[in-house]
Structure 1
Amino acid sequence: MKTITYLKGDATNPQIEGNKIIAHICNDIGGWGKGFVLAISKRWKKPEADYRNWFQNVESFKLGEIQIVQVEDNLWVCNMIGQHKTITNSKGIPPIRYEAVEQCLNKLSDKALKLNASIHMPRIGCGLAGGKWEEIEPIIERTLLKNNVEVYVYDFE
């Protein structure tokens, strides 16, 4: 089975040959404006515009769904709805929804294989969503890696 390749750098600027998909977590309330999405919006306007449009107009906008947005010839951004709302609730449950992340990554796995693309991401779900990498990493292994998709995780310096 493949393993995750950890790199130092910017996940919005993958330095790997071939088709690439940048994956990141979005919330289920249409909010875009904090965290990694800002780095995406700095480079391309379309992922945010398509996300906002999806939120307003499409019934499929819900936890566990993904949206693939082409931003360059061989580069796509995958908006993954894996976060419920944006703040930790009164019971102390953070916004991350691991089951939804797993559903998203399964769908992304199919897309990556169709596009013959590698996946590039920050430590998804571990910033504002409040998730733990030791929960996310096995999900990546069960989905993307199990299907032989190359995965690169970036730690921004």
Structure 2
Amino acid sequence: MGEIVYVRGDATVPQAKGVKVIAHVCNDRGGWGKGFVLAISKRWQEPERDYRAWYRSRDGFELGAVRHVQVTPYIWVANMVAQRGTRTGSKGPPIRYDALDRCLAALGDHAAELGASVHMPRIGCGLAGGKWERVAPLIERRLCERDIPVTVYDQ
């Protein structure tokens, strides 16, 4: 079983050889304009364009769904819908841990199929309001236990 490796750096510049998947959390309202998505859009246009088209089409766009967008021959971006809206309300922060768990399971399947490593910031813990103590065990179960290398980037 692997473990999460923590490094300082930019998750949009993955520190590994071979195929890499950059994972991040998106909301279910079609909003793309704050947080880590800005760093993704600064580097590549395709993930935002795909997310917006997917949202408009409503074709499978729901909590727990993932779209994998290839941005270079060796880098994919996983748009994971695991956030209900964009603000904390009466039902707590926007993160939905059950949806994130489903996203990570699908991400694990895709990464295993590609033979890829996975790279991310502390997903779900910024604007989504999640707690890393709850997110990390999901990553360990869905990725590390499958021996998929995972690197988490702190700025």
Q: Same fold (TM over 0.5)?
A: yes
What count of residue pairs does the alignment treat as equivalent? Answer: 155
Q: Report the counterpart of residue 15 of structure 1 in structure 2.
A: 15
Q: Report the counterpart of residue 6 of structure 1 in structure 2.
A: 6
The alignment status of 1:134 with 2:133, answered yes or no, reads: yes
Q: Report the counterpart of residue 98 of structure 1 in structure 2.
A: 97
DSSP 3-state at the match of 2:24: strand
Deviation larger for 126-135 or 55-64 = 55-64
Per-residue CA deviations over 1:8-53 (Å, capped at 9, x if unaligned) read 0000001210000000000001000000000000000000000000
Structure 1 letter corresponding to 2:119: H
The correspondence of residues 89-128 of structure 1 with structure 2, limited to 5 A, is 89-91=89-91, 93-128=92-127
Structure 1 letter corresponding to 2:77: V
CA distance in 1, matches of 2:121, 2:143: 15
Unmatched 5+ stretches in structure 2: none
DSSP 3-state at the match of 2:76: strand
CA distance in 2, matches of 1:116, 1:140: 17
DSSP 3-state at the match of 1:110: helix
CA distance in 1, matches of 2:130, 2:58: 27
Q: Which aligned runs of 4 or more in structure 1 are off by greater than 2 angstroms?
A: none
Q: CA deviation at 1:90?
A: 2.8
The alignment status of 1:87 with 2:98, answered yes or no, reads: no
CA distance in 2, matches of 1:28, 1:144: 23
Structure 2 letter corresponding to 1:52: R
Identical amino acids, percent of aligned pairs: 59
